[in-house]
Amino acid sequence: MTSVWANHFIFDRVITAADGQHVGMVDDIELSDPWDDAAQPAVERAPELTALLSGPTALGPRLGGRIGTWWLALGRRLRPTGRGYPNRIPVEAVKTFDIRGVELKIDTSEVATRRLDDWILEHIVLRIPGNGS
Amino acid sequence: MRGSELIDCDVYDADGKRLGAVHDLRFDLKWTRAHQLTCRLTGLECRDSSALGHRLGYGTGDMAGPWPLGMFFTRSRARKSLTVEWRDVVSVEPGRIRLKRRVGELRGESS
């Protein structure tokens, strides 16, 4: 068992998919609710990491203040309609986790953080004449 | 619950005295035999002032020099920093965390 600090070891780490593509950064983390099951003793009720969150709607609240509010508003306006935000990577998909970054068991196509890139590729880049496709 | 909901929360002891704000979260990280990551929150780093020294690595012992900065941040940390165990947390409300122990007991345990 290793004891780590979030600012030093978890936040702002680069997330890499199984195919080697960078798919975002750890902007925030999702924790289990410690008061879901009050029958358990206090130590057992310690929150556990359930997912890594990435994207402007994850980073905004962590930044806080006016800059954080603006960043969150920007992220909300740019998100695709009908999709859940922020981008969520369940902890079950994590293969390695160290000071250099997070490596996933899943490929880029399965990671929600690439949705904006895919949208730009499909709706803008591929429509430009001579795009090489 | 998000990690950012705990960061910057004011921490109050059993008497209602403010200890500072949460600047960092401590986790126990473990891999199961099935290579599944479990990461459990075990403590909160509380400070009554800027977390600059902690963010630069002086709070966790990762930075040793240059010596004037090391000495300054180590002394500053000893004076103002307090690591609260998660088992001492009674409730988490928006912007506020309550503990079940008094500040004297917590400082006695951490020193």
Percent of chain B with pLDDT over 70: 71
Q: Phi, psi (5° rounding) for residue A115?
A: -65, -40
Residue B78 has pLDDT above 90, yes or no: no
- The whole-number pLDDT of residue A122 equals 80
| ipTM passes above 0.90 | no
A61 SS3 class: helix
Residue B41 has pLDDT above 90, yes or no: yes
pTM of the entire predicted model: 0.76
Distance CA A85, CA A73 (A): 12
Residue B70 has pLDDT above 80, yes or no: no
Judging contacts by C-beta atoms under 8 Å, the chain A residues touching residue B2 are 28-31, 53, 61
- The whole-number pLDDT of residue A61 equals 79
Distance CA B76, CA A62 (A): 25
- The whole-number pLDDT of residue B58 equals 65
Judging contacts by C-beta atoms under 8 Å, the chain A residues touching residue B29 are 1-4, 9, 97
Q: Name the residue in chain A with its Cα closest to that of B95.
A: A64
- The whole-number pLDDT of residue A21 equals 87
- The whole-number pLDDT of residue B12 equals 92
Q: Do B27 and A33 touch (CB under 8 A)?
A: no
Q: Phi, psi (5° rounding) for residue B62?
A: -80, -20
Which of B2, B55, B92 comes nearest A7 by C-beta? B55
Res. B74 pLDDT band, cuts 50 70 90: low
Assess A43–B contact: CB distance below 8 Å, yes or no: yes
Distance CA B78, CA B98 (A): 22
Tens digit of each residue's pLDDT, chain A (133 residues): 788 888 888 898 999 999 988 888 898 999 988 766 655 555 557 899 999 998 877 887 777 778 878 877 777 776 665 565 678 889 999 998 888 889 999 888 888 766 667 777 888 888 888 877 6
Q: Do B2 and A28 touch (CB under 8 A)?
A: yes
A83-102: b or e for each residue (b if 16 or more CB lie within 10 Å)?
A: eebbbbbebebbeebeeeeb
Assess A61–B contact: CB distance below 8 Å, yes or no: yes
**A16's tokens:** 């890499």
- The whole-number pLDDT of residue B68 equals 75
Q: What pLDDT digit, counting tens, does each position of A51-85 carry?
A: 999 887 788 777 777 887 887 777 777 666 556 56
Q: Phi, psi (5° rounding) for residue A24?
A: 140, -170
Please return the burial class of B67, using the count of CB atoms within 10 Å of its CB with bins 0-12, 13-18 and 19+.
Answer: exposed
